[in-house]
Amino acid sequence: MSPIIKPTLLIDVDRAKSNIRRMAAKARQNDLSFRPHFKTHQSQTIGRWFRNAGVNAITVSSVDMAEYFARDGWNDITIAMPVNLPDIDRLNHIAKQIDLHLLVDSLSAVTYLTEQLRSQAQIWIKIDVGYHRCGLLWYNSEEVIELAQKIQSAEKMDFRGILTHAGHTYHQSSVDEVLRIHTESIIRLIDLKRDILDSGISTCSISIGDTPGCSLSNNFTGVDEIRPGNFVFYDLMQLRLGTCRYQDIAVAVTCPVIGKYPNRGEIVVHCGSVHLSKESLKSSTITTYGYLVPTTPDGWSSPDSSAPIISLSQEHGTIQMTKDMMRHVAIGDLVTILPVHSCLTANLYSNYHTITGKSISKMQSMV
Amino acid sequence: MSPIIKPTLLIDVDRAKSNIRRMAAKARQNDLSFRPHFKTHQSQTIGRWFRNAGVNAITVSSVDMAEYFARDGWNDITIAMPVNLPDIDRLNHIAKQIDLHLLVDSLSAVTYLTEQLRSQAQIWIKIDVGYHRCGLLWYNSEEVIELAQKIQSAEKMDFRGILTHAGHTYHQSSVDEVLRIHTESIIRLIDLKRDILDSGISTCSISIGDTPGCSLSNNFTGVDEIRPGNFVFYDLMQLRLGTCRYQDIAVAVTCPVIGKYPNRGEIVVHCGSVHLSKESLKSSTITTYGYLVPTTPDGWSSPDSSAPIISLSQEHGTIQMTKDMMRHVAIGDLVTILPVHSCLTANLYSNYHTITGKSISKMQSMV
């Protein structure tokens, strides 16, 4: 176990495993297929923790990631982005080896796949239930049905159902708002499914995805599959939404203090945008890029006072703190920071460092 | 030359070399030591372009980066962060091999180095000329002199001078404001230097660093060394400041279109925060994370119409465009995006792809 000397991504293994078990149990209780999104952790080792919790199908966000997890024995993978047509050769290659699920939301993609797919693939139509990123709008039944019929009639494609990511839950400020969007999304998908079945298509599953809705709600009537990802680690954004508790956050960044400026009430750490990502939380009074928490022998504890990162440059982070806190911090000390968005923070590292000093490797996500 | 099938970091080699030559010429004309910051490109190959332009001393922002460039023969390196004390073993190791320059801004760091340094190191006192990130304030002559004297009297340390990064130039909205800060910073450092020399210390160099000031100003009287970094690529942030022209921007990201939403006037590309960074430019009407430019046989051209990235999630980017532009874009096309902050964008990739299809490797910056 070597000492930490530079910005390091810490993982609390027990918390992550407990987050996994809790979501897996909720899926079982609600009779849902659980297809977690692995873009958050991007690690074969952490993937195995899910396997041990009974998971056998996963979600990823790129062909690179599908290949990485297929190499570790995952053979049922959804690439949850509208299909990337220039990548057709790799898609054909991987579709030969595993059950590959793809997303479409356009006639042009379906036409292209009809001509170019060489192995069987499972096809989902991406639905926009109000987030307005990707997908056909939920009320455009005709367009969705036309697409579903074309998929069904294609030789190499099986129509699996409709899939959404209600990412607008992330932008809410209360549990009630998250729950309202969650319920509204499901109702919209159920209505659409009814139209699809009425058109003569025999089966249509419903898949939903966001961590806030899946964490907070206990109502999944009508839903077949959930695909949350962020919940394995959670973060300050989820904490603010009310989706998790402090003690559920499973990753943090430990970094050295390199400057101390008592007159400004600030310290500077070697921990910048390249160590945390530039994701921020805004309130009416402050924009913050992370929160300092006390380091403990077990990892870290909840913040006992106010110490936000108030600015980030490439390698520096500036943390505001009270005079009393500052008296307990020296240049050269290691401090621990909770990230605003754990997916983007974890993406910046090549491995996790457990609180007992072991290393867990992850995908080299640089491209 | 393999086809581009996923988000890829493009480099226009001619533009980067021309940016390097221009800054090197300016340094020569003003009789300045030119010690460019290599955190922007993080590539041994690109480092050699600087060497060919007569550069023999460089700046980096971490011990990792110092080691990476020392392996390629660089033997005069400044680590331009207040020294990271927990990393003392690696610092001692590298100080044995090369001329290592370190920054301090506290008595505690100087005391630590006095006890722990095993090889000779060149020491600069970091000065805060108004950016308020790191450094002793420019008007605290007494404190600076006390530190300089302690450095001089330590066996393994040579006092080299005072160094600043006037990073507040990045936050200005006009060339005049940048030039005002540039001049003010130099005056503040010259005044401080006079006090230092008056105290009996025999030599004190002045080193400054920011790309906006170094690009725009022709007045460097009193300055001994410049350390800009971003100018090798420039980006939209520099363009807005007036520091560069469109045709000076030397990196861009090419990525596939995965969704097209004419009713919203938006397309979605496979290019998210993990491909561009979450750095944004804000105006009173819009927050943007990059700008779509037309792809040409030579790389890319200036934007001919308005197409900003208006939102970014982990792997998706949403681009707003006119109906006319949208008629010329199809799902599966590759489009090119200029980054807001090239340092953070380049940091996310393991190599550059030239516009003639060659690969240029860079440091694996993941930690």
Note the pLDDT tens digit of each residue in A123-168. Answer: 999 999 999 999 999 999 999 999 999 999 999 999 999 999 998 8
pLDDT band of residue A171 (cuts 50, 70, 90) is: confident
The residue among A92, A151, A93 whose CA lies nearest residue A116 is A92
Predicted confidence at residue A169, as pLDDT, reads 87
Token pair for A162: 């409709």
pLDDT band of residue B303 (cuts 50, 70, 90) is: confident
* Whether the Cβ atoms of residue A56 and residue A36 lie closer than 8 Å to each other: no
Q: What is the pLDDT of residues A267-289, one digit of tens each?
A: 999 999 999 999 999 988 899 99
Span B335-344, average pLDDT:
96
Top-level class of domain B246-361: mainly beta
Q: What is the pLDDT of residues B80-116, one digit of tens each?
A: 999 999 999 999 999 999 999 999 999 999 999 999 9
Give the count of beta carbons closer than 10 Å to the beta carbon of residue A73.
Answer: 12
Token pair for A82: 């509208």
Give the count of beta carbons closer than 10 Å to the beta carbon of residue A120.
Answer: 13
Is the CB of B259 less than 8 angstroms away from the CB of A83? Answer: no
pLDDT band of residue B68 (cuts 50, 70, 90) is: very high
Separation CA A86–CA A63 (nearest Å): 11
Nearest CB among A112, A268, A350 relative to B133 is that of A268
Share of chain B above pLDDT 70, in %: 98
Name the residue in chain B with its Cα closest to that of A366: B349
Token pair for A131: 């987030």
Separation CA B107–CA B278 (nearest Å): 36
Q: Is the ipTM of this complex over 0.90?
A: yes
Separation CA B64–CA B76 (nearest Å): 15
CA distance to partner chain B, nearest, from residue A14 (Å): 23
Predicted confidence at residue B3, as pLDDT, reads 86
CA distance to partner chain B, nearest, from residue A93 (Å): 15
Is the CB of B332 less than 8 angstroms away from the CB of A109? Answer: yes
Q: Helices A44-52 and A63-70, interaxial angle, to 10°?
A: 60
Is the CB of A87 less than 8 angstroms away from the CB of B256? Answer: yes
Is the CB of B109 less than 8 angstroms away from the CB of A367? Answer: no
Indicate if the pLDDT at residue B1 is higher than 60.
no
Q: Which helix (H) or strand (E) holds B60?
A: strand B58-60
Domain B75-228 adopts which CATH fold?
TIM Barrel (3.20.20)
> Domains of chain B: which residue ranges?
75-228, 246-361
Span B154-173, average pLDDT:
93
Predicted confidence at residue B366, as pLDDT, reads 59
Indicate if the pLDDT at residue A367 is higher than 70.
no
Write the DSSP string, A207-244: EE--HHHHHH----TT--EE---GGGT--HHHHHHTSS
Name the residue in chain B with its Cα closest to that of A279: B278
Give the count of beta carbons closer than 10 Å to the beta carbon of residue A232.
Answer: 28
Nearest CB among B61, B347, B366 relative to A349 is that of B366
Predicted confidence at residue B135, as pLDDT, reads 98
Q: What is the pLDDT of residues A46-104, one digit of tens each?
A: 999 999 999 999 999 999 999 999 999 999 999 999 999 999 999 999 999 999 999 99
What residue type is B353 in one-letter code?
H
pTM: 0.96
Predicted confidence at residue A295, as pLDDT, reads 83
Indicate if the pLDDT at residue B171 is higher than 90.
no
What SS3 state is found at B5? coil
Predicted confidence at residue A315, as pLDDT, reads 95
Predicted confidence at residue A365, as pLDDT, reads 60
Indicate if the pLDDT at residue B365 is higher than 70.
no
Is the CB of A133 less than 8 angstroms away from the CB of B311? Answer: yes
Q: Parallel, antiparallel, or unpaired for β A266-270 and A251-261?
A: antiparallel
Taking the CA atoms of chain B, what radius of gyration do you get in angstroms? Answer: 22
The residue among A25, A28, A35 whose CA lies nearest residue A160 is A35
- How far is Cα of residue A29 from the mean position of the Cα atoms in its chain? 22
Nearest CB among B83, B86, B318 relative to A5 is that of B86
Span B149-166, average pLDDT:
97
Predicted confidence at residue A333, as pLDDT, reads 95
Share of chain A above pLDDT 70, in %: 98
Indicate if the pLDDT at residue A1 is higher than 60.
no
Cα atoms in the 13 Å half-sphere on the side-chain side of B147? 27
Is the CB of B314 less than 8 angstroms away from the CB of A5? Answer: no
Residues 6+ apart with CB under 8 A from B297: none
Is the CB of A349 less than 8 angstroms away from the CB of B367? Answer: yes
Nearest CB among A5, A86, A366 relative to B334 is that of A86
Residues A192, A194, A197: CA angle, nearest 5 degrees: 110
